[in-house]
Amino acid sequence: MDPSEIGLIAFSAVLLMLALRVPIAFAMASAAIIGTFFVFALRTGDFAPDRAIRPTTSMIFSNAFDLIHNYNLSMIPLFVALGHIAYRAQITTNIYEAAKVWMTNLRGGVAMASIVGCGGFSAITGSSIACASTMGRICTPEMLRMGYDNRLATASVAAGGTLGSLIPPSVLFIIYGIFTETSVSKLFLAGILPGLLTLAGFVLVVAVWVRRDPSIAPMTDIKYSATDRQKAAIAAWPAVLLFVTIVGGIYGGIFTATEAAAVSVAAAVTIGFAQRRLTLADLWVSMKETCIQTASIFIIAAAAKIFVAFIALTGVAPQLVALVSSADLSVFALMAAIALIYLLLGMFLDPIGIMVLTLPLVIPLVEGYGLDLIWFGVVVIKLLEIGLITPPVGLNVFVIASVVGKDAPLERIFAGIARFLSVDFIVLLLIMCFPIISLWIPGGM
């Protein structure tokens, strides 16, 4: 059997296992290990399993070892820890409180503040699901108590939570950078403008929605003075400091992304203890949560690394590149096909699973067309961001549904999400048509 045929069978097996709800790490690792064994066993034509054991185990352990010892991978536990520490030290919630004080007097102001709060939370944590979960517990119940329509109260936070994928730091950018061997620092900077465009678009959706139907966002009697606004803005200084440390340090060449993560964690701990909002017990819980979340990401990444090595061994990627080249597709047709694949997978799989499953096949195609991998990384992350709120399995929607319970059924949340998805697709088209939106800031490094 030809190695490429084994590769296609293994890839199909992974898709089948995912359809059967087998965890992505186990599906990819098992298919890659068994496929690698058969490739080596059938290399001489006849089936010789004794000759396949040593090279198979060598490839598995060497690739897993190389991944775990990748310097850039150390960013993941650092940024995950930063998110947990900043939340327990109330650094992230202060962003929402400041936005709420400034925007409450606007119709739909609390929903707008929730989106801004999600953007600020994302600028520290780097996790969309963590953002949706945390901000959902803070913002959504408050909007429901104020009489907001449950579609607006839930969809604004579910959509706002996706900003964690684009606004740096982003765990997805880190994983993309490791697997494509591109600069994580440049990827972080490339996500700033698309992330801010998305945030502004979401706020605009709320403004237009409440203007057309004022009943969905009743005005509140609470009034804040200029002094209250000033105090709220000043209270948010730790979040601003952390964001400037990460982005400013990377852009100015002061830190690498890993160094920025370490400095930010140290700063968050120091600020938390200095303000007496962080205790040793809180720090211990944050570290435990970081270990659990990081371990799950590392297991998926290790399985993906083994799968990438297997795909390279079978030669499926070069054959796919040759097939696409012979079809003479335009860049537009190629990107449209890739976008369609990601959007379809986003309806059923989690973002990390989609990325590690598709990158081994997609990246050779993109490189063959001479496209910029930094720009393409932003496009991929934007597509994964859209998948987080796309029915039938929008992870952020399910997170918000678990928070609000019976107050907002899934169909009501998805009904509100449709408006925010329109903005996502507009931003996606802008990014794809005008790469300068993504490349302008990293180009100035």
Rounded distance between C-alpha atoms, residue 178 and residue 87, angstroms: 27
Identify whether residues 81 and 46 lie together within a single domain.
Answer: no
Q: What is the pLDDT of residue 63?
A: 82
Identify whether residues 266 and 183 lie together within a single domain.
Answer: yes
Whether residue 393 has pLDDT greater than 80: no
Name 17's Cβ contacts closer than 8 Å, sequence gap at least 6. 26, 27, 30, 31
Whether residue 436 has pLDDT greater than 90: yes
Q: Bigger pLDDT: 207 or 122?
A: 207
Q: What is the pLDDT of residue 431?
A: 94
Residue 353 domain-assigned (yes or no) = no
Whether residue 445 has pLDDT greater than 70: no
pLDDT tens, position by position, 179-202:
888 988 899 999 999 999 999 999
SS3 content of the chain, % helix, strand, coil (to 5): 80, 0, 20
Identify whether residues 270 and 390 lie together within a single domain.
Answer: yes
- Of 119, 114, 117, the closest CA to residue 152 belongs to 114
pLDDT tens, position by position, 419-431:
999 999 999 999 9
Q: What is the pLDDT of residue 94?
A: 79
Residue 346 domain-assigned (yes or no) = no
Identify whether residues 431 and 283 lie together within a single domain.
Answer: yes
pLDDT tens, position by position, 266-294:
999 999 999 888 899 999 999 998 898 88
Identify whether residues 95 and 178 lie together within a single domain.
Answer: yes
Enter the tokens of residue 321.
């590149």
Rounded average pLDDT over 17-30: 86
Among the three residues 28, 49, 69, which one is the final residue of a domain in this structure? 69
Residue 315 domain-assigned (yes or no) = no
Rounded average pLDDT over 131-136: 78
Highest mean predicted confidence (pLDDT) among 17-21, 71-75, 164-168, 382-386 = 382-386
Identify whether residues 50 and 147 lie together within a single domain.
Answer: no
Whether residue 366 has pLDDT greater than 80: yes
Among the three residues 54, 69, 84, which one is the final residue of a domain in this structure? 69
Q: Helices in 315-394 by DSSP H: which ranges?
A: 316-327, 331-346, 351-368, 373-387
Identify whether residues 216 and 239 lie together within a single domain.
Answer: yes
Identify whether residues 32 and 93 lie together within a single domain.
Answer: no
Rounded distance between C-alpha atoms, residue 3 and residue 65, angstroms: 25
Q: What is the pLDDT of residue 330?
A: 85
Q: What is the pLDDT of residue 287?
A: 92
Identify whether residues 251 and 392 lie together within a single domain.
Answer: yes
Q: Bigger pLDDT: 377 or 245?
A: 377
Whether residue 150 has pLDDT greater than 80: yes
- Alpha-carbon distance values, 316 to 3, 49, 69, 89, 215 (Å): 8, 23, 27, 49, 56
How many domains are there within the chain? 2
Which residues constitute the domain of residue 199?
74-299+374-443
Q: What is the pLDDT of residue 320?
A: 74
Identify whether residues 173 and 278 lie together within a single domain.
Answer: yes
Q: Bigger pLDDT: 70 or 374?
A: 374
Residue 213 domain-assigned (yes or no) = yes
Residue 42 domain-assigned (yes or no) = yes
Q: What is the pLDDT of residue 69?
A: 78
Rounded average pLDDT over 9-20: 85
pLDDT band at 375 (very low <50, low <70, confident <90, very high): very high
Q: 288-323: buried (b, 16+ CB within 10 Å) or exposed (e) per residue?
A: ebbeebbeebbbbbbbbbbbbbbbebbebbeebbee
Give first-to-last CA distance, the chain, whole Å. Answer: 49
pLDDT band at 434 (very low <50, low <70, confident <90, very high): very high
8 A C-beta contact, residue 40 and residue 51: yes
What crossing angle do the helices spanning 351-368 and 280-314 adopt, rounded to 10°?
40
Residue 326 domain-assigned (yes or no) = no
Among the three residues 21, 46, 69, which one is the final residue of a domain in this structure? 69
Q: How deeply is 329 buried, as exposed, middle or buried, from its count of CB atoms within 10 A (0-12, 13-18, 19+)? A: middle
User: Chain-wide mean pLDDT for the chain?
Assistant: 85
Amino acid identity of residue 418, one-letter, is A
Residue 327 domain-assigned (yes or no) = no
Q: What is the pLDDT of residue 432?
A: 93
pLDDT band at 209 (very low <50, low <70, confident <90, very high): very high
Identify whether residues 166 and 32 lie together within a single domain.
Answer: no
Rounded average pLDDT over 356-360: 84
Identify whether residues 142 and 265 lie together within a single domain.
Answer: yes
Highest mean predicted confidence (pLDDT) among 101-105, 111-115, 274-278, 430-434 = 430-434
Residue 329 domain-assigned (yes or no) = no
